[in-house]
Structure 1
Amino acid sequence: MPKIEIHRPARAQAARPQAAEGEAPMAPAAPRKRRAKSDPAPSRWSYRMQRMMLTPIYRKAVKIGVPVLLVVLATGGYFASQERRDEVAAVFSDMRNRFETRPEFMLGMMAIDGASESVAEDIREIVPIDFPISSFDLDLVEIQKSVTGLAAVAEAAVRIRPGGVLQVDVREREPVVLWRSYEGLALLDINGVAVGALDRRGARPDLPMIAGDGAEAHVAEALGLIRAAGPLGTRLRGLVRMGERRWDVVLEGGTRILLPETGAVQALERVLALDSAQEMLSRDLAAVDMRLAQRPTLRMNAGAIEEWWRIQEITAKK
């Protein structure tokens, strides 16, 4: 079998420049160095910083906390000096004084509506204000408490009215009865609160009279009895609280109607019905005892008893 030869073409060599005659041959070119590729992954510290910045709390602390801390430090350093603090305080005090003493904030007078002359004088005594004064220097709530603390005042409203006027609106307590006690005569309202004092009964003849210990705590009950005793007219002198438990109705001439602890109005109405039918209260009686509803008792005066015995003796002789 014949031998087959394969001829491979020679590799083309790069043409090198030939050195000119008389020149030294050129040195071969040095091989080119390869550049090291940079690692795209972050470093450990860079990774940790990035993770921390992604945390909301840390991000807010850096963006807000650090500036605030710097401001606090700067402010604390500035106000570390007492002289600087005094200067700043004086500036703010002067600014506040100029603002509070502006004409629109100044008050020149106090007006009191709804109060009698005596109550108005009492209000001016307990609220001593030296006008003109700034409205910022007044405590309206405290003034209202002082005014309502008066015995004769039921309600009070304090406000600042346009024109520089301190307005005080008052609703006085309305006296409904006279209360006679060891201390004298006092005017009481429906709640038993003392409104004022009187020197004599004739100063308020339009008001009914009550007396006795504890009577001031039962004014509403007394008024109910007084309304029920309306048919008595001017014969009614007043009510007396007995033992702080019940009432006695006092009539002209000293006659008394002794009422029970409970059902006093009904017992009084029974007495008035008997008086309307038989004129019982027009007789010489000392008391009508209604404390026992099943057994009402009449008590005659001493003179009536003597007259009765005299009549009995005359009748017996006949």
Structure 2
Amino acid sequence: MQSLGGPRVYTRQPRRDPAPSRWQYRMQRLWLTPLFRVLFRVGLPCFVIAMVVGIYASDEGRRAALTGTFTELKEKFQNRPEFMVGLVSVEGASPELAEAIRARVGLKLPLSSFDIDLDAVKARVEELDAVANAELRVRSGGVLQVLITERMPVLLWRLEDERLEMLDETGHRVAGLAARTDRPDLPLVAGAGADVATGEALEIFAAAQPILPRVRGLVRVGERRWDLVLDRNQKILLPAENAVAALERLMALDKAEDLLARDVLSVDLRNEKRPVLRLAPYALNEHRKAQGIDTSGSEL
């Protein structure tokens, strides 16, 4: 049977080109660039946020309100009870030093721990002569803990104006002293520059242990050497170099000959090869008589 509509005409549709357009190609190539992706994903949002914030903050009233809100929140947080310091605990110090440290801290408590400059407080505490080192920390319970390393006095230093000061093993001042009888357990040194030679002084006192009950003190001479002063006004003149070794040799000689128990005014050890004894006048006359020297006309 033949169709009544006549012959069909088929129209061929043109094929679509799968290749991207020039604009699409450029955008695809640009999107493959790492820098562009970072700028688009990070830079663009940041720019938008910064622009919004800038527009909001451009008004002085809004800025003041924002600042006030932030300050109020900060103060409320810092002034919470768990952050308040109400006590100062001093450990490692004598009672007198502990009281001086509390006064030196100078904080009006209670105070927020955020308002305490620990470095500044530490510096103030370490300005005390008796404090070698200080460590500060805020403990739970509102306690400012001050850990002290106290300087221990090992010597008394008599100054030219007769003042007495206690020194530690490094020669650093610990504290003043009213009278020698307040610390009879500490050995005594005197003379200018004695504080910078504390180490040598301690070694000399250790070497003089056999006669230590007779030792009255050490005198620094010319800021370069020591004189060891004994009772009965005896003196041992020590050399500027190797003073401890010279004194140890004298201690050995005294142990063998009981030298310092005799009528000797001074023992001069400044010349290592030629030590010199200075006898008391009576002992000197007796020595001369023993040698057959007439002492009837000599002056005592």
Q: TM above 0.5, one fold? A: yes
Q: In structure 1, what is the equivalent of residue 52 of structure 2?
A: 74
The runs of 5 or more residues in structure 2 that have no matched partner are none
- In 2, the alpha carbon distance for the partners of 1:314 and 1:146 equals 69
Instruction: Give 1:60 shift.
Output: 1.6
Residue 195 (structure 2) pairs with residue 216 (structure 1):
yes
- In 1, the alpha carbon distance for the partners of 2:153 and 2:272 equals 33
| CA shift digits 1:104-138 (9 cap, x unpaired) | 11111212122223322321232111111111111
Instruction: Give 1:205 shift.
Output: 0.6
Task: Give the letter for the 2:249 counterpart.
Answer: R
- In 1, the alpha carbon distance for the partners of 2:91 and 2:122 equals 14
Q: Say which SS state the counterpart of residue 250 (structure 1) adopts.
A: strand
Q: Identify which of 105, 109, 118 aligns with 2:96.
A: 118
Q: Identify which of 67, 72, 76 aligns with 1:98.
A: 76
Q: In structure 1, what is the equivalent of residue 157 of structure 2?
A: 179
Instruction: Give 1:200 shift.
Output: 1.7
Q: In structure 1, what is the equivalent of residue 205 of structure 2?
A: 226
- In 1, the alpha carbon distance for the partners of 2:253 and 2:29 equals 103
Q: In structure 2, what is the equivalent of residue 292 of structure 1?
A: 271
Q: In structure 2, what is the equivalent of residue 8 of structure 1?
A: none
Higher gyration radius (CA): 1
Q: Identify which of 62, 82, 90 aligns with 1:84.
A: 62
Q: How many residues align?
A: 294
What is the root-mean-square deviation of aligned Cα atoms in Å?
2.7
| CA shift digits 1:126-170 (9 cap, x unpaired) | 211111111111122322222122110122221222221112122
Counting only pairs closer than 5 Å after superposition, residues 125-274 of structure 1 correspond to structure 2 as 125-183=103-161, 184-274=163-253
Task: Give the letter for the 2:205 counterpart.
Answer: I
Stretch deviating more after TM superposition (307-316 or 289-298): 307-316
- In 1, the alpha carbon distance for the partners of 2:276 and 2:101 equals 53
Stretch deviating more after TM superposition (38-47 or 227-236): 38-47
Q: Say which SS state the counterpart of residue 192 (structure 1) adopts.
A: coil
Q: Say which SS state the counterpart of residue 186 (structure 1) adopts.
A: strand
Q: Percent identity, aligned pairs only?
A: 44
- In 2, the alpha carbon distance for the partners of 1:40 and 1:257 equals 113
- In 2, the alpha carbon distance for the partners of 1:115 and 1:44 equals 84
- In 2, the alpha carbon distance for the partners of 1:109 and 1:176 equals 33
Over 3 Å counting, the alpha-carbon distance change for 1:31 and 1:113 in structure 2 is closer
- In 1, the alpha carbon distance for the partners of 2:179 and 2:65 equals 66
- In 2, the alpha carbon distance for the partners of 1:68 and 1:251 equals 85
Q: Say which SS state the counterpart of residue 313 (structure 1) adopts.
A: coil
- In 1, the alpha carbon distance for the partners of 2:3 and 2:228 equals 151
Q: Say which SS state the counterpart of residue 104 (structure 1) adopts.
A: helix
Stretch deviating more after TM superposition (33-42 or 116-125): 33-42
| CA shift digits 1:233-290 (9 cap, x unpaired) | 3211111122222221111122111112222222112222332333322233221111
Stretch deviating more after TM superposition (271-280 or 74-83): 271-280
Task: Give the letter for the 1:176 counterpart.
Answer: V
Task: Give the letter for the 1:313 counterpart.
Answer: D
The runs of 5 or more residues in structure 1 that have no matched partner are 1-14, 19-27
Residue 294 (structure 2) pairs with residue 313 (structure 1):
yes
TM-score with structure 1 length normalisation? 0.83
Q: Say which SS state the counterpart of residue 293 (structure 1) adopts.
A: coil
Task: Give the letter for the 1:129 counterpart.
Answer: L
Q: Say which SS state the counterpart of residue 196 (structure 2) adopts.
A: helix
Instruction: Give 1:39 shift.
Output: 2.9
Task: Give the letter for the 2:266 counterpart.
Answer: A
- In 2, the alpha carbon distance for the partners of 1:240 and 1:104 equals 57
Over 3 Å counting, the alpha-carbon distance change for 1:30 and 1:132 in structure 2 is same
Task: Give the letter for the 1:131 counterpart.
Answer: L
Q: Say which SS state the counterpart of residue 39 (structure 1) adopts.
A: coil
